[in-house]
Structure 1
Amino acid sequence: MACRLAGSSFLLVGQQRRSIQNHKLSPLTCPGTFNLKWEDIFRGRNNQKRCLISLRQSRVVQAVAVPIAPSPADRREHRKQLSERYGFQQIGEPLPDNVTLKDIIETLPKKVFEIDDVKAWKSVLISAISYALGLFMIAKAPWYLLPLAWAWTGTAVTGFFVIGHDCAHKSFSKNKLVEDIIGTLAFLPLIYPYEPWRFKHDRHHAKTNMLQEDTAWHPVVKEEFDSSPVLRKAIIYGYGPFRPWMSIAHWLIWHFDLKKFRPSEVHRVKISLACVFAFMAVGWPLIIYKTGIIGWINFWLMPWLGYHFWMSTFTMVHHTAPHIPFKDSDEWNAAQAQLNGTVHCDYPKWIEILCHNINVHIPHHISSRIPSYNLQAAHQSLQENWGKYLNEATWNWRLMKTILTMCHVYNKEQNYIAFDEIAAEESQPIKFLKKVMPDYA
């Protein structure tokens, strides 16, 4: 007769109280799980003497589980298996509790924090030229090539967002007035109010992967999922097949409601909203006047949807994975959230160029003051000094399938529970994605 133990040993409590940690354990195929034979439990001091126990006896034997940590080799193998399953190149080791964000920042070269005006304005030039080229392609492309032109233009206009993103983090220029002006102008084609976004985004960096407080992306909680059948259906679609455009809902909910901002922020928020509404009032009618409604769809709406695809995809890949936890504020650790809780993801080179390396994201979370053109050098330094703790991936179908079909309702013990595990009859969109999405990395 054998007793299965999962990563634990037993201490017997009773007349023959003793530790059995030194007895032989037969490993099973699962790391940290063992077979413990009953005859190994009760050995007398005389090796020739054995104590036979009748299972029918009424004496109660109490056992206390004492955790045994798996070996480093087992942990490495487990992370390797998870990497292959989820579509990662590497799943990092847990960062020790005593490491602080300051410790990590101090290992970065000082030059990665330096602002270079030439490089900053070069990024503006790249975005302006690539966006203009995209508009030219839309104007000249036959209908069957329009999706390619929209994809290029949407990616190019995402570069404007990254420029505004640098301005909001005060890493674009040494002149703060220039940053505010460029940031506001860069966001206008996206109908994004610069100051509201800046205020909310700063809180995302301050509370990355903090349950409820992170303003970039909230995991679904069970109470919310069960609150209403209509809301549940919307959540299933929103965090399933429509997730690559969920930033549209985030844009609407978080950036236009004055009640969501502190009194000291409202004045600047109003200025940004006025700029956005002025652009809509002048720009949209001008586009329609020159090209008609179809032109407005071709030249503005479709590239805008392309931008939101990247905005949503970048955000969820950077911060969503089955092994990355969200934590309550009393358990949250800044260094662990920024280094261990952020994902580096390599995209095709043309995307990296047009989007100014925004996907080199771990150093950006270690310090948001690092300009986008220095992120590659900063990441190389992190790999040299903290490489075993990094989560790294190359954008692939399995990675996207993992996020869209597994990372749903948040649970503190399991991190995530998929919709189809708790609401199978209503989760047809998730089952559909599991069937149709490719499963290769």
Structure 2
Amino acid sequence: MSSSTIHRINLENPLTDTSSTSQTELPFTFQDVKAAIPSACFSPNVWRSLAYFFADTAIIVGLYATAAYLDAWWFYPIFWFATGTMFWAFFVVGHDCGHGSFSRSKWLNNLIGHLTHIPILVPYHGWRISHRTHHQNTGNIDTDESWYPVTKSQYQEMDWIGKFIRFDALLFAYPLYLFKRSPARPTASHFVPNNDLFRASETNDILTSSILWTAMIVFLGWLGFTYGFLFLFKFYIVPYLIFVIWLDLVTYLHHTEADIPWYRGKDWYFLKGALSTIDRDYGIFNNIHHNIGTHVAHHIFIGIPHYHLKTATDAIKPVLGKYYRVSNEPIWKSFFTSQKSCIFVPDTGGEVYYVPSSEVIK
């Protein structure tokens, strides 16, 4: 298997991955880690999952009702931040749907996935599938799908627009990613089938989500035409942008840190790659956005619902030892540190790290 071939791994049983010739590098196996976790953690409770969905919905509706009732400019900044944050929480519920950890019912996962994703302009199936590729290839420089590093030569070949989007405007990059994909990957849209992100059997799923996404765009256009741009700006555009910032910030910080290794070729395999992520502490936001910062256990076992991730993490820490990464540093400090120091990795090497910032000349 070449290093540029996307790995298609059965995430329910990653041991079926045969892409590695060095499965014994870690001092523990996938089964060792799984055995440490209480079996109840792997079973979603559909009523508990639905409770999070309805609670998030109620909070969002309440915020809109309050903003419409007060219609006061002093309240709008509060409304914007709170609603954008709840859009992100909504996204995390749909994220569980995409992994099948919301429930064991495919139709219910798809229904709730669309109800949580389409209102915030995320094409559910397109995102679900590209995100699956990310999980199947985490930590692989050549085939990962989310916030993988560019190499030194790729960095030197990027024009100023590419560098600006990737390194300066990265908190607003998500909408562009939906249409263009990430740097150093073949261009592929999340809205159309027939590209290397999707299989032929997934065409109807992609088209379904794209049609619903388009309907949402039409609805927003109607709102703007009927009530004016200021109405749309106040009640949708700003909260949406806050959501985009949350999405880019959290996903970037999941996989960007100076001491996180990245792998090539035979030096990569699923478990080792899955450990190339880091848990973060978002303080008061941990519960609001459903502990999405508890990310290491999630990458190893996507079938664990978000409300079991803390229990699972506590269980696997003794097994993982030094291979478990966590940061309690303030989030914005971590972001600005990584933004300045995590620019590119060497062109060669089976296990590589971001080069020191002193070696980077923008």
Q: Same fold judged by TM-score > 0.5?
A: yes
Unmatched tracts of structure 1, length 5 or more: 1-94, 428-441
Q: Which residue does 1:277 correspond to in 2?
A: 214
SS where residue 327 of structure 2 aligns?
strand
Match of 1:360 among 294, 303, 307: 294
Residue pairs, 1:259-408, within 5 angstroms: 259-260=194-195, 261-281=198-218, 283-289=219-225, 291-339=227-275, 341-349=276-284, 351-394=285-328, 395-408=330-343
Q: Is the 8 A contact 2:286 2:292 kept in 1?
A: yes
Render the CA deviation track for 1:32-72: whole Å, top value 9, x for unaligned.
Answer: xxxxxxxxxxxxxxxxxxxxxxxxxxxxxxxxxxxxxxxxx
Cα gap change, 1:236/1:418 in structure 2, threshold over 3 Å: closer, same or farther? farther
Higher strand share: 1
Q: Is the 8 A contact 1:115 1:173 kept in 2?
A: yes
Aligned residues with identical type, % of pairs:
26
Match of 2:44 among 96, 115, 119: 115
Match of 1:201 among 111, 123, 131: 131
Q: Which residue does 1:184 correspond to in 2?
A: 114
When the two structures are aligned, how many residues end up with a matched partner? 324
Task: Tell me the CA shift for residue 98 of structure 1.
Answer: 4.4
Cα RMSD (Å): 2.2
Task: Tell me the CA shift for residue 190 of structure 1.
Answer: 1.4
Match of 2:170 among 235, 240, 243: 243
Q: Is the 8 A contact 1:141 1:149 kept in 2?
A: no
Give the aligned residue type for 1:288.
G
Residue pairs, 1:51-200, within 5 angstroms: 96-139=25-68, 140=70, 142-200=72-130
Render the CA deviation track for 1:189-221: whole Å, top value 9, x for unaligned.
Answer: 111111111111111111101112111223122
Q: When the two structures are superposed, what TM-score results if normalisation uses the length of structure 2?
A: 0.83
Q: Distance in 2 between matches of 1:145 and 1:418?
A: 44
Q: Which residue does 1:252 correspond to in 2?
A: 179
Q: Is the 8 A contact 1:127 1:160 kept in 2?
A: yes
Unmatched tracts of structure 2, length 5 or more: 1-23, 182-189
> 2:143 aligned with 1:213, yes or no?
yes
Q: Distance in 2 between matches of 1:385 and 1:290?
A: 58
Q: Distance in 1 between matches of 2:357 and 2:277?
A: 24
Task: Tell me the CA shift for residue 137 of structure 1.
Answer: 4.5
Q: Distance in 2 between matches of 1:243 and 1:131?
A: 26
Cα gap change, 1:402/1:369 in structure 2, threshold over 3 Å: closer, same or farther? same
Q: When the two structures are superposed, what TM-score results if normalisation uses the length of structure 1?
A: 0.69
Q: Distance in 2 between matches of 1:159 and 1:279?
A: 19
Q: Distance in 1 between matches of 2:154 and 2:261?
A: 19
Q: Is the 8 A contact 2:193 2:200 kept in 1?
A: no
Q: Is the 8 A contact 2:343 2:360 kept in 1?
A: no
Q: Is the 8 A contact 1:239 1:404 kept in 2?
A: no
Which structure is larger by alpha-carbon Rg, 1 or 2? Answer: 1
Ranked by relative contact order (alpha carbons within 8 Å, sequence separation 6 or more), the top structure is: 2
Render the CA deviation track for 1:212-260: whole Å, top value 9, x for unaligned.
Answer: 2111223122333233xxx431233223331222222222224124232
